Structure 1
């Protein structure tokens, strides 16, 4: 067991709380729904970036490379000033949804380089220009550009020309769970002497303005030599001390709103949130408390750098007041040890031979996932009704966003899609985060699913909250799949079978499954409408809203997601039945329900309007109009590939272990012969007596795979596109009434504003569904084995088993991030600085989605959440290269 695994065990056993401190500070609290108290939900405009330095937040904090305790009472982050900016660089800047020509977008360059699961060691990098940050230029140029033009990025402004910037590395190492060593290393990459003011900042989250009975905490200076020491005292967190390297000016103010600047009214105290900014940037001497006490502190280090020079500043945040030499030789020794232990931990996870490129990509992907853990506080009841001693929220809010979610009470550390673009949990994103996270930290992965299915998140009717912008939106029901995978991966990597976790989540998901059946099966015929389902721009209409044509859609993907849900619940029930045979009955229920769904997708009701089109050999949504007309919407998209996900294999040993389940299954097959085509024959030579449950089977499977593996359709050099490339030359157009509704293949940013924001998935490659396609191919291979082959790519004459196809798709996805023969990474397209500059080329960004033809990164630049699946893919790929695979199936076949 490595030292990091020992720390994880101590945290799990509650003998040492190694995860009490971590990177839990958001990168953007401004512009979030939580901070929006406007009448009509205009979150981007109500609390803009321009107000963030002056206005105390209600629900959380933000900062650069920030850390906090797990209840975010005390926070630490860095601030910077180059002497030219109009404001301190205390938080990340970006464009709001209405400002960007392709939606919201962070306009900064920062990279997560390393982290262990307990955050015993962490490292990140922020690149800070030496010229004035071009806030206005970024807004105005992006506002000028249209949907057909690319986004105007920070590199495009020229502020990084001639390497006139600072690389700011921030590292943390824990001596004990409450003793954090902080090291900030700054390098001048330019060819001229430059000055930078480094301001390590410590502050208390403001709770006292909303909780009048709370005792106000304080930070005060208690020593200036030989090192500067600050005492931070909090009524519930206790006392901590910040040790600062000599040479700093110690600045204190309060983390309270500057009412005078924002609203033209007087301030209760002259010391407000932007006091340090005003003191340094504007020379306002009285903005700082000369008594050196407050709730917000910064140590100002004015540093001058020769060309290429590097300097390091050390600090220490500790629960110990009597450290004799807090920043001395032991400091460096602890950092060295924690870095070495991080290497040992990651080698233990992947002992197989890896290339340096693979190891670098995987390590940064894991780092991004771990740095994107965030303290998330949102109490919807209080948000709707207001706080004591505060003006009541406008009454319109009670009929607006999230009004039906007064049960939601969140105060947890959650995995975020990213902490700038999506600084709030997203339920179905979260399910995909857990696949790589469970490899790192099973306890944290399980906690995420446990929280999401608890009564203070899930509604009483069983609905799961989707995401902060609209909790009532409908996302794919992938949480049973995630729970099963978390359970299985913990078994494989750690030898533990947490049946209690699986059973607890299973019971809550029974409620959620019932909600789906009761709310999303409009006609009670096992065909589902779903709604949004995560596929924003992939169809003719915005499926989360009323259709402009009237009527409703029966969804091939919605129905298939429910088929997949059934099979995941069936698999969990059989696992639980190993110790409690009562679960055999529940397994039988999901077996039968799956067969009804698999049958219904082929023909609905008496009219038999199928979601399967036998002429095309593909699945489509079906539009039902108010006048009774019904017809398929023949868009070849991911909607028609999602039926592949509904597949599982039952082993003969499993069937023998549960005779009651087997008897019921055989009775059902005998007595419902019209449904038995969804179950493969009992005997398959060479593969054992396995049973296959799948929506797509036999000739249909080969027909769908012909589209999937055609490079003129879905198959790209870097994965599976969300929309077939055939729609580039043959766009699908629906003529209805006086309107035309059109879908055209767009490999990059969408040119339609129909869906708002940055919902740009009309063709790009999207990691979560690619991952599920690969997993489905493995399941089919477990059943069919080496005898079942398909041409891949179509037209190549090359026959592959489904195992080989799965490995090939995984390889193509990983190549997005790998240097090619010319040393260029597809993810960075034509961005030369990322491709060739030694200070950029090994830094990886994990985008929201990727160009459907060349693999360039698009959308949110730090969405390591689900794109972090690449870390798991690399692990699988190197394992496939190393492990002898004489027999199909088995644990090593699981992606």
Structure 2
């Protein structure tokens, strides 16, 4: 067992709290719903980036390359100034949803380079220009562009072209659970000396404002390079400071005078360091060397091609020589991180792939965040006393008053999406399962807790609208995490599986009661996470009335039924009481299969025999209908409803088999729909699937056609050639149209950067690969299809799955020219100090693999690190 694995075991055995400190600081707290106390619910305008330096947050903190304790009481992050910028760089800058021509977007260059599950070693890189940061240019140029133009990025300004920038590395190495060595190293990549101000900041989150008798924490200068940090929640810590920097002190309190012209409650406020360093107003900081926020101000002239280093140590111990073992701690933790990941790289085929894998995992780990949000409190409070009582009674999420979060949660992107999303969350757990299965289990169990899950059984979708609907993938993730954990530890965690299963029974019932309006096992679903996939907004009522019968909504529920069947089978081997659940969910799956197949036999069905594809059906109020021939990834989702189990398992549950055989005799029409669950082949495998071989081959003909869905980089979300010309549909006096868009969005339907009209998305590609492996295990290598379509070459389903996995890695790996497709051919990223730093975007251009959307979406895109191993778990 490696040293890192030993630390993990100590933590989860509750012997040592190795996860007390980690990268739990948000990268954007401003512009979030939970910090919004406006009348109109416009979070972006209520608290902007410009206001953020002066406004004390209510629910969290943000910063650059930051860490905090697991309750985010004390935070440490890095502030920078190059002597030219108009503001102190304390937080990452980006455009709001209304400012960007493709929605919200961070306009910085930073990378998550390394991290381990206990955060005993962490490394982060921020590229800081030496020229004035082009805030106005970025806002103005993106404002001039429309959706037909690409986003205007920081790199497009040419600010890095002549190497006049600093590479600022932030590193953390733990000497103990409460003893952290901190090192900042800044390299001047330019050809001339350049000034640089490095200001590590320690701040206590404001948990005292508005609280009666709350004890304020305090940071004081005790002399000799030691800061004393005292708080009721954390106790006493010390920050040992190397060198002789200037120490700055203020309070984490709002500057009301700047924001609203009102009198400040205290003389020294949150933005004091900006005023002191940039505006040279030394009177802005406290002269008594104490406060709830402290800055450690280093000033350097960094030589051309040279570097400078800053060292700190944050600990709850009293140390006589805090830096005596400093370098040894770093050397040991880095070596242990290398050893840990060497045990995780089994599937990697090259050193470049290992590098990609490790940075993907680092991104997953850096995107952990402390997330606090008490909806009932938020709805009824008014911290600035600017509105009438109960002014938020009808605000967003008002039907979720039970919701209370105060947890470490995996975020999709700590700048662009610094809040959880239900279906993203399930895929995050899969990406974590290989390196920290206990954290993966904890995350899946979190969303079904009483204080998260709605009493009616609905899972909260995402912060901007908890009541929206994401695909039901929680059961799939729970089963795979359970099996991965079992494989790693050699014993099954039935308690985890049982805990999640019990709560998902409620969630399944919610789906049945809320999303099957006719009670015919055909589900509507609505948004279902697929922004812009339809011709009109599927979360809103159909224009002119009626409703959609969705191929994806129905297929997701078939998949959900099978996932719960799979879990119930597993639990039945542990506790016989779950046998009835096997029968319940299997029968429910059969009824859904029957509904889909029955619909397919009639002219108005979801399945189209001529096209060999599934389509949504629009039901009008007058009883008429129309099949919406939009050939999208929605029509491939029926493939997901596939599970496999073997004969030895079946033989352990003879009474279940007998009951299911009885059902088959009662309803032979339904039993005949499922692909060989009765094992007519006589081998060891049993398959439950919506697709029999004929329909599967017809779907694969479309999916594997390079002119339709198959890209060099994965499966597109819209058929390319079929929708190269707009697909039009006239409804209720309006013309709705969709066309293939390989990269960034061309529509505002779901806000700026949402786009499922062509690009490649990892979550659905993962499930397609997973389904192919399952189907192969039943059909074997004898079942071969043309791949690619039109090539005359035939492959097994497993060979196709493996090939798709390789295509999905291609955006991140060096090609024959030494470039990474994810960067879209920009020559900047071929330069020595750029080429090995990888970004994991939200989605990818269906034609060239370029990354789009959130640039640090090492949430579900982190699946690239585990694609093949996890997809083979059935």
Q: Same fold (TM over 0.5)?
A: yes
How many residue pairs match? The answer is 874
Whether 2:236 is the aligned partner of 1:236: answer: no
1:114 alignment partner in structure 2: 114
Question: Within 1, Cα distance between the matches of 2:821 and 2:601?
Answer: 50
Structure 2 counterpart of 1:62? 62
1-side partners of 2:675 and 2:862: how far apart? Answer: 35
Question: Contact (CA 8 Å) 1:416, 1:423: kept in 2 or not?
Answer: yes
Measured in 2, the distance between the counterparts of 1:744 and 1:541 equals: 13
**1:679 Cα deviation from its structure 2 partner:** 2.5
Question: CA 1:639–1:66 in structure 2 vs 1: closer, same or farther (change >3 Å)?
Answer: same
CA distance in 2, matches of 1:355, 1:26: 33
1:863 pairs with 2:857 = yes
Change (3 A) 1:520 1:619: same
Cα contact 1:251–1:299 (8 A) shared by 2: yes
8 Å CA contact 1:679, 1:691 repeated in 2 = no
Cα distance in 2 between the residues matched to 1:262 and 1:446: 43
1:506 is aligned to: 501
* Contact 1:210-1:389 at 8 Å conserved across structures: no
Cα deviation for residue 389 of structure 1 reads 8.8
Partner of 1:8: 8
Conserved 8 A contact 2:37-2:382: no
Q: Distance in 2 between matches of 1:863 and 1:278?
A: 34
Matched, 1:371 2:366: yes
Are 1:21 and 2:26 an aligned pair?
A: no
**Cα distance, 1:100 vs structure 2:** 0.2
643-652 or 22-31: which moved more?
643-652
Post-superposition offset of 1:161: 2.4
Higher mean C-alpha deviation, range 680-689 or range 420-429: 680-689
1:472-487 matches, within 5 Å, as 472-487=467-482
Give the distance between the partners of 1:78 and 1:116, measured in 2 at CA.
Answer: 21
Please say if 1:659 is aligned against 2:648. Answer: no
Q: Partner of 1:463 in structure 2?
A: 458
Is 2:573 the counterpart of 1:594?
no
Partner of 2:574: 579
Q: Does 1:812 align with 2:803?
A: no
**CA separation in 2, counterparts of 1:105 and 1:353?**
32
Post-superposition CA distance 1:564-620 (Å, at most 9, x none): 000000010010001211211110011100010011112349977311111211101
1:772 corresponds to = 767
Inter-CA distance 697–357: structure 2 relative to 1 (3 Å threshold): same
Secondary structure, aligned partner of 1:536: coil
The corresponding residue for 1:96 is: 96
Measure the CA separation in 1 of the matches of 2:744 and 2:694: 35
Secondary structure at the counterpart of residue 790 of structure 1: strand
| 1:788 matches 2:767 | no
1:824 is aligned to 2:819: yes
8 Å CA contact retained: 1:24, 1:70: yes
Listed one character per residue, the Cα deviations across residues 421-463 of structure 1 (whole Å, up to 9, x for unaligned) are: 0000111001001112011111111111111001100011100
- CA distance in 2 between counterparts of 1:493 and 1:747 reads 39
Partners of 1:27 and 1:869 lie apart in 2 by 22
In 2, Cα distance between the equivalents of 1:793 and 1:319?
A: 60
CA distance in structure 2 between the aligned counterparts of 1:528 and 1:270, rounded to whole angstroms? 59
Deviation at 1:266, TM superposition (A): 1.2
Deviation at 1:689, TM superposition (A): 4.0
Does residue 744 of structure 2 align to residue 749 of structure 1?
yes
Matches within 5 A, 1:399-438: 399-438=394-433
In the alignment, the residues of structure 1 paired with residue 475 and residue 347 of structure 2 have an alpha-carbon distance, to the nearest angstrom, of 30
Shift of 1:548: 1.9
Report which stretch shifted further, 494-503 or 78-87. 494-503
Instruction: Using the TM superposition, give the Cα deviation of residue 286 of structure 1 relative to its aligned residue in structure 2, in angstroms.
Output: 1.1
Q: In structure 2, what is the Cα distance between the partners aligned to 1:602 and 1:132?
A: 63
- State the partner residue of 1:894: 873
- Tell me whether 1:305 sits opposite 2:302 in the alignment: yes
What is the TM-score of this pair, normalised by structure 2? 0.98
**Which residue pairs with 2:31 in the alignment?**
31
1:77 equivalent to 2:77? Answer: yes
Is 1:739 aligned with 2:734? yes
1:39–1:395 Cα contact (<8 Å) kept: no
When the two chains are superposed, the root-mean-square deviation of aligned CA atoms in Å is 1.6
**SS of structure 1 residue aligned to 2:155:** helix
The one-character-per-residue Cα deviations of 1:58-83 (angstroms, maximum 9, x if unpaired) are 00000000000000000000000001
- Partner of 1:430, secondary structure, is helix
User: Secondary structure at 2:773's aligned position in 1?
Assistant: helix
The Cα of 1:354 is off from its aligned counterpart by 3.7
Rounded to whole Å, the distance in 1 between the matches of 2:592 and 2:681 is: 30
Q: Who is 2:276 aligned against?
A: 279
Secondary structure class of the residue paired with 1:636: coil
Map 1:658-737 to 2 at 5 A. Answer: 658-681=653-676, 688-737=683-732
SS in 1 for 2:440: helix
Alignment of 1:271-420 (within 5 A): 271-321=268-318, 323-328=319-324, 330-351=325-346, 354-386=349-381, 390=385, 395-420=390-415
Shift of 1:400: 2.4
Tell me the SS of whatever aligns to 2:581.
helix
**Aligned to 1:465, what secondary structure does the other structure show?**
coil
Q: CA separation of 1:682/1:316 partners in 2, compared to 1, >3 Å: closer, same or farther? A: closer
Structure 2 distance, partners of 1:188, 1:176, is 32
Query: Residues 892 and 713 of structure 1: is their aligned pair in 2 closer, same or farther, counting only changes over 3 Å?
Result: closer
Task: Judge conservation of contact 1:386–1:393 (CA < 8 Å) in 2.
Answer: no
1:344-383 per-position Cα deviation (integer Å, ceiling 9, x unaligned): 1111223466411101100000000000000000000000
Bigger drift between 26-35 and 606-615 goes to 606-615
Aligned pairs for 1:87-166 (under 5 A) are 87-166=87-166
- For each residue in 1:444-493, what CA deviation from the matched residue of structure 2 results, as whole angstroms up to 9, or x when unmatched? 11111111001100011100000001000000000000100110111122
Q: How far does residue 676 in structure 1 lie from its aligned partner after superposition?
A: 1.8
Residue 769 of structure 1 deviates from its aligned partner by 0.2
Q: CA deviation at 1:38?
A: 0.8
Any conservation in 2 of the 1:682–1:689 contact (CA below 8 Å)?
Answer: no
Contact map agreement 1:69 1:75 (CA 8 A) in 2: yes
**Equivalent residue, structure 2, for 1:269:** 266
The aligned residue for residue 886 of structure 1 is: none
CA distance in 2, matches of 1:733, 1:389: 49
Q: Which ranges in structure 2 are unaligned for 5 or more consecutive residues?
A: none
Alignment partners' CA distance in 1, 2:723 and 2:650: 48
Distance 2:804 2:602 in 1: 38
Using the TM superposition, give the Cα deviation of residue 39 of structure 1 relative to its aligned residue in structure 2, in angstroms. 1.3
Partners of 1:792 and 1:494 in 2: how far apart? 38
Structure 1 position 517 matched with structure 2 position 512: yes
Counterpart of 1:760 in 2: which secondary structure?
coil
Q: How far apart, in 1, do the equivalents of 2:159 and 2:123 lie?
A: 25
* Equivalent residue runs for 1:865-880 within 5 Å: 865-873=859-867, 876=869
> Per the alignment, do residues 393 and 313 of structure 1 end up closer, same or farther by CA in structure 2, a change over 3 Å counting?
farther
The answer on whether the counterparts of 1:40 and 1:396 sit within 8 Å (CA) in structure 2 is no
Distance 2:50 2:284 in 1: 19
Pick which of 674-683 and 419-428 moved more: 674-683
Q: 1:884 corresponds to which residue? A: none
d(CA) in 1 for partners of 2:850, 2:348: 28
Are 1:557 and 1:643, in contact at CA under 8 Å, matched by a contact in 2?
yes
User: Would you say 1:839 and 2:836 are equivalent positions?
Assistant: no
- Whether the 8 Å contact between 2:787 and 2:795 is mirrored in structure 1 is yes
The structure-2 alpha-carbon separation of the partners of 1:684 and 1:269, relative to structure 1 and needing over 3 Å to count, comes to closer
Instruction: Give the direction of change, closer, same or farther, for the CA distance of 1:688–1:327 in structure 2 (3 Å limit).
Output: same
Task: Select between 733-742 and 528-537 the one with higher mean Cα deviation.
Answer: 733-742
Deviation at 1:738, TM superposition (A): 2.4
Query: Aligned pair 1:495/2:487, yes or no?
Result: no
